[in-house]
């Protein structure tokens, strides 16, 4: 449908029909939908008439080819102008084949893997009738108390940006109109939802514009530069105004400065939440502020429907604001080809054949294996062929390893650790016991665990957080493992058997009582449908762990927020002339995280040669080349993530001690050596100055290359301008 046709379509629409296009409803409102679909927020009676449903523009949380076809067919019959529905849902890390949560994927340091996972998710979701996914979530996170850190790829703006691009490429492909097996992506939550005070979900966010632009905005911009079709507003305030009613953020920055002319959708109820935020007296004012901010679709509340007509008739809202919103929505439907093919990719036959197929499950297993991070290993892993293994813990036989955003997945279909190990270990070698629940323990469970452990040569504990302890509205003030699980470790320790802990969790945890007591710790996060199979491949050495942390593990929750790209302060504790007391430190814990950004172990050893620079100076037209040789000095093939950081020694504002600027994940066979060359450009040295200008400063820099943010070789160079 040409743009002129869209214009004329809008002209033929009544004001009520146009406003209904701006309304997104959950599944139960629609004829032909048998069940409630995915409900991800507070439901409320919306006072919606049948006419509004007939004219609404989109539905969220509907999946299933037959269901979508039934709902779309009914809608096209009932809608006066035959405008098709947009079918949207959260397909964040997989549809039926669930991939590792994004925080795990970020630890793979493999954007190609993320792209593939999104491509598969789009294929499965599109044949099941979906058009749009509310992903990628690219909120930068520094506070593991927040339940949604599992949905982010971590604490670094550059790494998050690389993954944001990859997810958008995977979801959308490069021909969204022609390829019905792709989804329109919706980057979220704009903006800085991950910076809620106290790590408490939905809490206040307040930071300088410079901080926002330097750290929190790059990944959203990267997604949009990759062509992301939609943006979702955040629940929080930005500069004192809730994002969903924030003209400065949405009109001035997102649309004018960045040139985004796609669809902006509110997060669940965020339009009406302008009232409790205290910037709208009533729903009419909430509707006024949201439409003025440029929010095109109101999700799951009915301020637009109930109040825009009168706001227009009173002249407080110009109808052109509504026309532009409708036009953006209809343009998206056009780009998706919905006017010609309203069923788009919905195909029950293809659904049966492709959803959760072996090829997709294999990809999920590979992604899980590459996302797990080996945090400790006192030479007890990989397990040895003849060892008898006692597998104990609440996650030994649990399918609750999909993570909180897996509503279309099935825990019952997940491969558990027990199933994975049974397929690897010869019969009789695996002894199992529950040991405890996630947050409880009985004497009997403990006795059975002790008995199993006594019969074994090595203990494997599968511990963690259940999916209710993470995800949206899942903030925790104390981020240790639940006490019964710590008690289980304590009670097994005196047996003096090698003890391996595998963690299933959605956030960096306070690992006191775990890392100090276990002989090995494998961080599996929520690894998805094939998680148990991947963990078994890693424990038995079939696959060599290659994950590296994309978010720091705090020494204690008292340190939070703790992140690698922090400033030096005027009284750095580790300065050569630092005093004993009057420096930036805690009296009771170290400043450093327990495990740093970029950290992860392997079953093999990688050695680094001396870094070589192409010059001691660089300039805007003379980039710097940095070469380092990496050797696999062990007897097992493995993947290393070579990381490159810089430090601007003196800026117009304070600059971080280190900033990730490049990385390379490379596979090395035993004894193999590879030279890794990075090219550093002047653009990569730019940052936001106090006047928000984005430029580099001539002067002294350090360059650091190594295996994680703390274990690097440092050299110096100058930037000449
Ligand atoms: C939820 C989440 C958002 C999700 C939306 C629709 O409240 O904040 O990420 O996309 O509702 O399910």
Residue 466 lies in a domain: yes
Residues 505 and 644 in one domain: no
Q: Say what the pLDDT of residue 83 is.
A: 98
Mutate to test the pocket of ligand 1, among 134, 190, 231 (most ligand atoms within 8 A of CB): 134
Mutate to test the pocket of ligand 1, among 93, 268, 405 (most ligand atoms within 8 A of CB): 268
Note whether 701 and 646 are within 8 A (CB).
yes
Choose among 406, 304, 343: nearest CA to 18: 304
Task: Tell how far the Cα of 273 is from the centroid of ligand 1, in angstroms.
Answer: 14
Mean pLDDT, residues 575-604? 96
Task: Tell how far the Cα of 682 is from the centroid of ligand 1, in angstroms.
Answer: 38
Burial of 4 (0-12, 13-18, 19+ CB in 10 A): exposed
Separation between Cα atoms, residue 176 and residue 171, nearest integer Å: 9
Mutate to test the pocket of ligand 1, among 36, 37, 38, 41 (most ligand atoms within 8 A of CB): 41
Residue 383 lies in a domain: yes
Note whether 372 and 523 are within 8 A (CB).
yes
Separation between Cα atoms, residue 306 and residue 366, nearest integer Å: 49
Task: Tell how far the Cα of 684 is from the centroid of ligand 1, in angstroms.
Answer: 33
Task: Tell how far the Cα of 215 is from the centroid of ligand 1, in angstroms.
Answer: 23
Separation between Cα atoms, residue 683 and residue 646, nearest integer Å: 13
Domain end: 510, 539, 568, which one? 539
Domain end: 514, 539, 564, which one? 539
Strands (DSSP E) found in 65-120: 86-89
What DSSP state is assigned to residue 666?
A: E
Residue 173 lies in a domain: no
Residue 17 lies in a domain: no
- The Cα-based distances of 178 to 137, 183, 328, 337 in angstroms read 25, 11, 19, 8
Q: Say what the pLDDT of residue 50 is.
A: 87
Q: Tell me: the pLDDT tens digits for 133-168? A: 999 999 999 999 999 999 999 999 999 999 999 999
Task: Tell how far the Cα of 267 is from the centroid of ligand 1, in angstroms.
Answer: 6
Containing structural domain, residue 517:
366-539
Tell me which residue has tokens 């409790």.
Answer: 276
Residues 532 and 609 in one domain: no
CATH of the domain at 698: 2.60.40.10
38 CA: nearest ligand 1 atom: 12
Catalytic residue among 90, 201, 267, 466: 267
- The Cα-based distances of 642 to 292, 627, 677 in angstroms read 47, 11, 10
H-state helical runs in 413-469: 417-422, 443-455
Residue 191 lies in a domain: no
Q: Say what the pLDDT of residue 281 is.
A: 98
Task: Tell how far the Cα of 598 is from the centroid of ligand 1, in angstroms.
Answer: 29
Note whether 249 and 238 are within 8 A (CB).
yes
For 309, list phi and psi in degrees, rounded to 5: -55, -45
Element (H, E) at 489: helix 483-492
269 CA: nearest ligand 1 atom: 7
Residues 386 and 480 in one domain: yes
Strand partners, 588: none
Q: Tell me: the pLDDT tens digits for 276-306? A: 999 999 999 999 999 999 999 999 899 999 9
Q: Tell me: the pLDDT tens digits for 668-719? A: 999 999 999 999 999 999 999 999 999 999 999 999 999 999 999 999 999 9
Nearest CA to ligand 1 atom 7: 268
pLDDT at 364 over 70: yes
Residue 113 lies in a domain: no
What DSSP state is assigned to residue 384?
A: P
Residues 395 and 527 in one domain: yes
Residues 391 and 522 in one domain: yes
Task: Tell how far the Cα of 135 is from the centroid of ligand 1, in angstroms.
Answer: 10
Mutate to test the pocket of ligand 1, among 61, 191, 472, 474 (most ligand atoms within 8 A of CB): 472
Nearest CA to ligand 1 atom 12: 40
Task: Tell how far the Cα of 437 is from the centroid of ligand 1, in angstroms.
Answer: 29
The mean pLDDT value of the chain amounts to: 96
**Cα–chain-centroid distance for residue 44?**
28
Separation between Cα atoms, residue 186 and residue 575, nearest integer Å: 45
Residues with CB under 6 A from ligand 1: 40-41, 60, 90, 134, 188, 267-268, 472
Separation between Cα atoms, residue 422 and residue 430, nearest integer Å: 7
124: Cβ contacts below 8 Å, ≥ 6 apart: 94, 95, 96, 97, 354, 355, 356, 360
Give me the sign of the Cα torsion angle 372, 375, 376, 379. Answer: positive
232 CA: nearest ligand 1 atom: 10
Residues 530 and 392 in one domain: yes
Percent of the residues in the chain that have a pLDDT greater than 90, as a whole number: 94
Choose among 704, 395, 665: nearest CA to 531: 395
Q: Tell me: the pLDDT tens digits for 464-517? A: 999 999 999 999 999 999 999 999 999 999 999 999 999 999 999 999 999 999
The distance in angstroms from the start CA to the end CA of the chain is 51
Residues 400 and 516 in one domain: yes
Domain end: 509, 539, 569, which one? 539
Nearest CA to ligand 1 atom 3: 267
pLDDT at 39 over 60: no
Q: Say what the pLDDT of residue 49 is.
A: 86
Q: Say what the pLDDT of residue 567 is.
A: 98
State whether residue 705 is helix, strand or coil: strand
Burial of 455 (0-12, 13-18, 19+ CB in 10 A): exposed
189 CA: nearest ligand 1 atom: 9
Residues 375 and 502 in one domain: yes
Residues 533 and 641 in one domain: no
151 CA: nearest ligand 1 atom: 9
H-state helical runs in 504-553: 531-539
Residue 386 lies in a domain: yes
41 CA: nearest ligand 1 atom: 7
Element (H, E) at 335: helix 319-335
Note whether 70 and 64 are within 8 A (CB).
no
Q: Is 267 among the catalytic positions?
A: yes
- The Cα-based distances of 226 to 35, 162, 219, 222, 681 in angstroms read 35, 10, 11, 6, 21
Residues 380 and 529 in one domain: yes
Tell me which residue has tokens 């330097």.
Answer: 214
90 CA: nearest ligand 1 atom: 10
Q: Say what the pLDDT of residue 33 is.
A: 64
Q: Tell me: the pLDDT tens digits for 191-208? A: 999 999 999 999 999 999
pLDDT at 35 over 80: no
Separation between Cα atoms, residue 38 and residue 578, nearest integer Å: 56
Nearest CA to ligand 1 atom 11: 268
pLDDT at 44 over 80: no
Strand 687-688 relative to strand 430-433, pairing: unpaired
Residue 385 lies in a domain: yes
Q: Tell me: the pLDDT tens digits for 82-102? A: 999 999 999 999 999 999 999
Whether the bond into 328 is cis, omega within 30 of 0: no
Per-residue HEC secondary structure of 337-365 comes to CCCCCCCCCCCHHHHHHHCCCHHHHHHHH
Instruction: Tell me the two tokens of residue 293.
Output: 């901010």
Nearest CA to ligand 1 atom 10: 134
Residues 492 and 377 in one domain: yes
pLDDT at 189 over 80: yes
Q: Say what the pLDDT of residue 27 is.
A: 82
What DSSP state is assigned to residue 589?
A: S
Task: Tell how far the Cα of 149 is from the centroid of ligand 1, in angstroms.
Answer: 14
- Residue count of the chain, please give it: 721
Q: Say what the pLDDT of residue 536 is.
A: 98
658: Cβ contacts below 8 Å, ≥ 6 apart: 564, 565, 645, 646, 647, 704, 709, 712
Q: Which band of pLDDT confidence, cut at 50, 70 and 90, is reported for residue 38?
A: low
Mutate to test the pocket of ligand 1, among 25, 90, 138 (most ligand atoms within 8 A of CB): 90
Q: Tell me: the pLDDT tens digits for 387-418? A: 999 999 999 999 999 998 999 999 999 999 99
Q: How many domains does the chain have?
A: 2
Q: Say what the pLDDT of residue 273 is.
A: 98
- Give per-residue burial for 64-87: e unless 16+ CB within 10 Å, then b: bbebbbbbbebbeeebeeebbbbb
Q: Say what the pLDDT of residue 148 is.
A: 98
Residues 389 and 520 in one domain: yes
Note whether 46 and 303 are within 8 A (CB).
no
CATH of the domain at 425: 3.40.50.1700
pLDDT at 186 over 70: yes
Task: Tell how far the Cα of 235 is from the centroid of ligand 1, in angstroms.
Answer: 10
126: Cβ contacts below 8 Å, ≥ 6 apart: 180, 181, 182, 183, 344, 345, 346
235 CA: nearest ligand 1 atom: 8
């Amino acid at each position: 449908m040409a743009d002129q046709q869209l214009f004329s379509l809008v002209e033929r629409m009544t004001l009520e029909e146009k406003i209904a296009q701006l309304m997104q409803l959950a599944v139960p409102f629609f004829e032909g939908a048998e069940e409630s679909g995915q409900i991800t927020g507070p439901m409320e009676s919306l006072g919606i008439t049948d006419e509004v449903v007939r004219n609404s523009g989109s539905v969220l949380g509907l999946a299933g080819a037959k269901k979508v076809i039934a709902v779309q067919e009914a809608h096209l019959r009932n809608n006066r102008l035959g405008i098709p529905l947009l079918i949207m849902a959260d397909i964040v890390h997989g549809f039926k084949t669930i991939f590792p949560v994004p925080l795990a994927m970020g630890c793979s340091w493999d954007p190609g893997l993320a792209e593939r996972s999104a491509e598969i998710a789009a294929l499965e979701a599109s044949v099941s009738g979906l058009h749009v996914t509310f992903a990628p979530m690219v909120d930068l996170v520094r506070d593991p108390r927040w339940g949604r850190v599992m949905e982010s790829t971590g604490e670094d703006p550059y790494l998050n940006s690389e993954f944001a691009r990859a997810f958008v490429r995977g979801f959308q492909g490069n021909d969204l109109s022609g390829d019905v097996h792709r989804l329109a992506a919706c980057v979220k939550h704009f903006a800085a939802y991950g910076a809620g005070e106290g790590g408490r979900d939905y809490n206040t966010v307040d930071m300088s514009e410079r901080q926002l632009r330097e750290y929190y905005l790059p990944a959203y911009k990267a997604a949009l530069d990759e062509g992301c079709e939609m943006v979702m507003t955040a629940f929080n305030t930005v500069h004192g105004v809730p994002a969903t009613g924030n003209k400065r953020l949405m009109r001035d920055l997102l649309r004018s400065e960045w040139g985004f002319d796609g669809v902006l959708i509110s997060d669940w109820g965020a339009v009406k939440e302008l009232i409790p935020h205290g910037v709208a007296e009533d729903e009419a004012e909430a509707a006024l502020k949201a439409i003025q901010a440029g929010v095109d679709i109101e999700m799951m509340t009915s301020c637009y429907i109930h109040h825009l007509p009168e706001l227009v008739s009173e002249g407080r809202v110009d109808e052109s604001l509504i026309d532009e919103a409708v036009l953006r929505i209809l343009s998206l439907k056009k780009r998706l080809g919905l006017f010609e093919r309203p069923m788009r990719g919905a195909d029950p036959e293809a659904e049966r054949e492709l959803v959760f197929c072996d090829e997709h499950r294999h990809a999920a297993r590979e992604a899980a294996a590459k996302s797990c991070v080996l945090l400790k290993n006192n030479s007890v892993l990989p397990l040895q062929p003849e060892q008898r293994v006692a597998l104990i813990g609440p996650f030994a036989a649990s399918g609750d390893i999909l993570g909180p955003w897996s509503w279309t997945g099935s825990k019952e279909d997940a491969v558990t650790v027990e199933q994975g190990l049974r397929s690897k270990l010869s019969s009789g070698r695996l002894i199992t016991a529950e040991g405890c629940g996630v947050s409880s323990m009985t004497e009997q469970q403990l006795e059975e665990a002790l008995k199993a452990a006594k019969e074994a040569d090595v203990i494997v504990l599968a511990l963690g957080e259940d999916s209710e302890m993470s995800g949206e509205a899942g903030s925790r003030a104390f981020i240790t493992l639940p006490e019964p699980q710590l008690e289980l470790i304590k009670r097994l320790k005196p047996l003096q058997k090698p003890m391996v802990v595998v963690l299933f969790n959605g956030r960096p945890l306070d690992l006191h009582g775990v890392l100090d007591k276990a002989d090995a710790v494998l961080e599996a996060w929520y690894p998805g449908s094939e998680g148990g199979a991947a963990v078994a491949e890693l424990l038995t050495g079939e696959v060599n762990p290659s994950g590296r942390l994309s978010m720091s593990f705090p020494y204690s929750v008292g340190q939070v927020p703790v992140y690698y790209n922090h400033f030096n302060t005027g009284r750095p504790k580790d300065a050569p002339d630092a005093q004993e007391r009057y420096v930036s430190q805690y009296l009771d814990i170290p400043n450093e995280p327990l495990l740093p950004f970029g950290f992860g172990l392997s079953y093999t050893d990688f050695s680094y040669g001396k870094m070589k620079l192409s010059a001691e100076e660089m300039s805007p037209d003379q980039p710097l080349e940095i070469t380092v040789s990496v050797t696999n000095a062990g007897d097992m093939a493995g993947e290393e993530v070579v990381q490159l950081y810089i430090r601007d020694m003196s800026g117009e504002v304070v600059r971080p001690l280190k900033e990730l600027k490049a990385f390379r994940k490379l596979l090395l066979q035993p004894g193999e050596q590879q030279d890794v060359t990075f090219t550093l450009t002047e653009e990569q040295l730019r940052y936001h100055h106090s006047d928000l200008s984005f430029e580099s400063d001539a002067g002294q820099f350090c360059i650091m290359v190594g295996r994680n943010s703390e274990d690097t070789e440092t050299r110096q160079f100058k930037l000449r301008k």
